[in-house]
Structure 1
Amino acid sequence: MAVEFLGFLPILLAVGLAVVQLGIAAYTVQQAGTAARAAARTATADDPEASPESAGQAAISGWLADGARISVSGGTEAHATATIEIPSIIPGVDFGDARRSATMRRPESADPPAPGDE
């Protein structure tokens, strides 16, 4: 009985590691989407002091923020792309990057309409 268990143990460990790695990858993709939306939202704000890249970094978990790259381009719409390296629990294996984008329209005017201008 013990010999059968020892033969099956590596398979159980491999399946367990695969499930944990899949969870980490899914969480990283979700965090990339959060960072992209936060950066795009900040880019559409009228605050010239606010940095969209910093807002995107602040919106995600600290252990993922170190490897995050966020780029923002603009025009009439703010387009932000967040790229985060997927951490690996398996030594020597690279799972690539998680990349998500978000686009938000810039408001035409931040000033409220004057009375009678409606």
Structure 2
Amino acid sequence: MRPLRWLRRRLRDDRGVSMLEFAGFLPILLVIGMAAIQLGLIGYGINQAGTGARAAARVASQQGGPAEGTAAGQAAVSGWLKPDVPPPAKGADTTTATVTVHVPSVIPLFGPYTVTRHATMPTDN
């Protein structure tokens, strides 16, 4: 009679169940963490593209050369984002610059993201 009581108590024991629940929930936590990192990288890419566009437009509008604007735009962006800075379009009143950056993917199923930002500055005469 005593061995049956011990066996029943052992079968109803909850030890180790929380470890199994955590092991089942761990992949979901990892995907959520990677998605948060990816959103942070996209936000950083947006910020860098805007900064590069403003720098390119400002230099091209003040110093007059599209080559200088392109160089300033590329210098203002982190190199690992692979910035694409075409020469700024200089008009009579305004100068507009466009910067495109390529944000790498952290989650393997989703491709790299491309972010484009524009900035317009008044042209100094």
SS at match of 1:37: helix
Identity, % of aligned pairs?
45
The CA distance in 1 between the partners of 2:20 and 2:66, in whole Å, is: 66
Number of the residue aligned with 2:90: 74
Q: Structure 2 regions of 5+ residues with no counterpart?
A: 1-17
What is the correspondence of 1:18-97 to structure 2 with a 5 Å cutoff?
Answer: 18-46=35-63, 48=65, 51-64=68-81, 67-71=82-86, 72-76=88-92, 77-97=94-114
Q: Looking at CA atoms only, which structure, 1 or 2, has the larger radius of gyration? A: 2
Number of the residue aligned with 2:21: 4
Q: Which runs of 4+ in 1 moved over 4 A?
A: 47-50
Q: How far off is 1:62 after superposition?
A: 2.4
Pairwise CA RMSD: 1.7
SS at match of 2:62: coil
The CA distance in 2 between the partners of 1:103 and 1:56, in whole Å, is: 13
Q: Which has the higher helix share?
A: 2
Q: TM-score with structure 1 length normalisation?
A: 0.82
Q: TM-score with structure 2 length normalisation?
A: 0.77
SS at match of 1:22: helix
The CA distance in 2 between the partners of 1:62 and 1:32, in whole Å, is: 12
